[in-house]
Amino acid sequence: MPSVHPVLRNLPEYPIVRVERAKRERLDADLAVFDFGTGDPLDPTPGFIQDALRDGVESVCRYPNPRGTPELRAAAAGYLQRRFGVELDPATQIASSRGSKEAIFHLPFAFLDVASGRDTVVFPTPGYTVYESGTRFCGGVAHGVALTPENDFLLEPWTLPREVRERIAILWVNYPHNPSGARAPRSYLESLTAFAREEGIVLCSDECYVDVFEGEAPISLLEFGTENLITLFSCSKRSGMTGYRSGFLAGDANLIETYSRLRPNLGVATPLFVERAATAAWSDDAHVSSRNAIFSQKRALFREFFDAEEIPYWGRDATFFLWFRVPGGEEGESYCRRLLDATGIVTIPGTYFGAGGEGLARVALVPPLEECRAAIALWREWAAS
Ligand SMILES: Cc1ncc(COP(=O)(O)O)c(C=O)c1O
């Protein structure tokens, strides 16, 4: 029998794959599907970004530099300056990534030192599952911390026992948070940076939803200095570029250098023509406001629906997720399945995002507005039946 990596052998199927399978069964049976599952919006990528991609193709397409083109890094620095008022050196404090997902998976390989006892990665749960899987494949200890409405979905590492704190190599935070949509207040983020510096921890801040909001703009951890900090940004959600695979890391020059030494070992970088599209995307903010205006309209429809149904929910003004309590104390998995079978509406059970998701589920505001209206009408009818 060929051997299999033990972490892979024991890993449950990637949760979204299960949702995709159930969806496919309906599509194959010619039944309607309203897909509020994966966070992959259907609103088109702005035309100027598509044009930059097409214009970026050269007659010879050579291996890209893993660090990213100087133009991409300059555009990223320009974005950080405009958006958060921070000045970073594009040569030493910014590195390109193939979207956040791969960087999240890879970072433990750069910073875990199992032999010296710095073997632990702390991450939010429920949360994006890759914080945990990257750690496990790397042989590290994955330590999830529960985020709940009671703690305002804030991960407070200073409350962990000293034995855990001493072993932390990487601390993950993700605000605005998937799946709860929670934001983090300034005072909390300030305490977090102080904690990471005192304890010598690499603070990794996944900020891929920082530009998806209404009302006041969420802040970045970069606003509190870069020491011990890596922030991850992505074109995926901000600019509707999930399939392009481009983002960047920004922060402490020493940490960026360590990651950059690891990076060429893990594969080749984002293709040049994609980086040209990403350069255009980071250089423009107007398209982000237009996309946010659409998300706000969709969010308003769901807010009205959940309020009318008296379903408690979170995610009122950031990310494109709504995180709701399943009515009647039912488990998320059975509720989402019944909803799908009866109406074709795809939602994701809370437990797919880890411990703490029990009795909850997530709606991603990805279908176009008209489909959101149609789906809500069906959901309302089903709830009343
Ligand atoms: C919290 C979070 N981080 C990272 C990602 C990965 O985004 P990408 O790799 O497309 O940049 C996602 C995608 O859904 C996410 O929800």
- Return the CATH number at 51: 3.40.640.10
Domain boundary among the residues 266, 284, 302 is at: 284
pLDDT at 268: 86
Which pLDDT band, with edges at 50, 70 and 90, does 163 fall under?
very high
Counted domains in the chain: 2
Residues 38 and 51 in one domain: no
Measured from the CA of 242, which atom of ligand 1 is nearest? 10
Helix (H) or strand (E) holding 346, with range, is: strand 345-346
Domain boundary among the residues 284, 318, 343 is at: 284
Angle CA 98–104–108, to nearest 5: 125
Residues 243 and 315 in one domain: no
- Residue 337 burial (C-beta neighbours within 10 Å; 0-12, 13-18, 19+): middle
Global model pTM greater than 0.75: yes
Q: What are the helix (H) ranges across 141-234?
A: 162-165, 186-199
Q: Choose one of 232, 237, 244, 365 to mutate for the ligand 1 pocket test, by most ligand atoms within 8 angstroms of C-beta.
A: 237
Measured from the CA of 247, which atom of ligand 1 is nearest? 11
Express as a percent the part of the chain with pLDDT over 70.
100
User: What spacing in Å lies between the alpha carbon of 237 and ligand 1's midpoint?
Assistant: 8
229 CB-near residues (< 8 Å, 6+ apart): 193, 196, 203, 205, 221, 222, 251, 252, 255
Closest alpha carbon to 270 in 238, 234, 239, 240: 234
Stretch 321-328: mean pLDDT: 96
Q: Name the one residue in this structure whose structure tokens are 């360590």.
A: 258
Which pLDDT band, with edges at 50, 70 and 90, does 95 fall under?
very high
Angle CA 151–152–155, to nearest 5: 65
> Pairing mode, if any, of strands 229-234 and 202-206?
parallel
Given a cut of 80, whether residue 374 has pLDDT beyond it is: yes
3-state helix, strand, coil in the chain (%, to 5): 45, 15, 35
Express as a percent the part of the chain with pLDDT over 90.
91
> Pairing mode, if any, of strands 247-251 and 94-97?
antiparallel
Measured from the CA of 177, which atom of ligand 1 is nearest? 1
User: What spacing in Å lies between the alpha carbon of 137 and ligand 1's midpoint?
Assistant: 19
User: What spacing in Å lies between the alpha carbon of 207 and ligand 1's midpoint?
Assistant: 9
Q: Choose one of 38, 45, 128, 132 to mutate for the ligand 1 pocket test, by most ligand atoms within 8 angstroms of C-beta.
A: 128
Q: Name the one residue in this structure whose structure tokens are 């598509």.
A: 50
User: What spacing in Å lies between the alpha carbon of 366 and ligand 1's midpoint?
Assistant: 14
Given a cut of 90, whether residue 319 has pLDDT beyond it is: yes
CATH at 338: 3.90.1150.10
pLDDT at 272: 95
User: What spacing in Å lies between the alpha carbon of 163 and ligand 1's midpoint?
Assistant: 30
Given a cut of 80, whether residue 271 has pLDDT beyond it is: yes
User: What spacing in Å lies between the alpha carbon of 40 and ligand 1's midpoint?
Assistant: 10
Measured from the CA of 98, which atom of ligand 1 is nearest? 9
Task: Identify the sign of the CA torsion 25, 240, 148, 199.
Answer: positive
pLDDT at 262: 96
pLDDT at 178: 97
Instruction: Calculate the CA dihedral of residues 86, 87, 92, 96 and round it to 10 degrees.
Output: 50
Given a cut of 80, whether residue 383 has pLDDT beyond it is: yes
Peptide bond into 176 cis (omega under 30): yes
Residues 214 and 304 in one domain: no
Cα 222 from chain centroid (whole Å) = 17
pLDDT at 16: 81
pLDDT at 227: 97
Could you tell me if residue 1 is inside a domain? no
Tokens of 85: 């008022």
Domain boundary among the residues 284, 309, 342 is at: 284
pLDDT at 294: 96
Residues 19 and 139 in one domain: no
Residues 348 and 362 in one domain: yes
- DSSP tag of 118: B
- 302: domain range? 6-45+287-384
Stretch 176-205: mean pLDDT: 97
Separation between Cα atoms, residue 189 and residue 171, nearest integer Å:
13
Q: Choose one of 234, 235, 242, 323 to mutate for the ligand 1 pocket test, by most ligand atoms within 8 angstroms of C-beta.
A: 234
Spell out which residues line ligand 1, taking CB within 6 angstroms. Answer: 39, 99-101, 128, 174, 178, 206, 208, 234, 236, 242, 247
Which pLDDT band, with edges at 50, 70 and 90, does 248 fall under?
very high
Tokens of 74: 């300059």
pLDDT at 13: 81
Strand partners, 232: 206, 249
Stretch 358-371: mean pLDDT: 95
Given a cut of 80, whether residue 316 has pLDDT beyond it is: yes
Average pLDDT, the chain: 95
Give 62-88 pLDDT, tens digit per residue: 999 989 999 999 999 999 999 999 999
Stretch 287-312: mean pLDDT: 97
User: What spacing in Å lies between the alpha carbon of 242 and ligand 1's midpoint?
Assistant: 9
Which pLDDT band, with edges at 50, 70 and 90, does 297 fall under?
very high
Which pLDDT band, with edges at 50, 70 and 90, does 267 fall under?
confident
- Closest C-alpha to ligand 1, atom 13: 39
- Closest C-alpha to ligand 1, atom 15: 128
Give 3-62 pLDDT, tens digit per residue: 999 999 988 887 788 888 989 999 999 999 999 998 898 889 999 999 999 999 999 999
User: What spacing in Å lies between the alpha carbon of 382 and ligand 1's midpoint?
Assistant: 32
- Residue 309 burial (C-beta neighbours within 10 Å; 0-12, 13-18, 19+): middle
Stretch 211-233: mean pLDDT: 98
Residues 317 and 336 in one domain: yes
Residues 35 and 51 in one domain: no
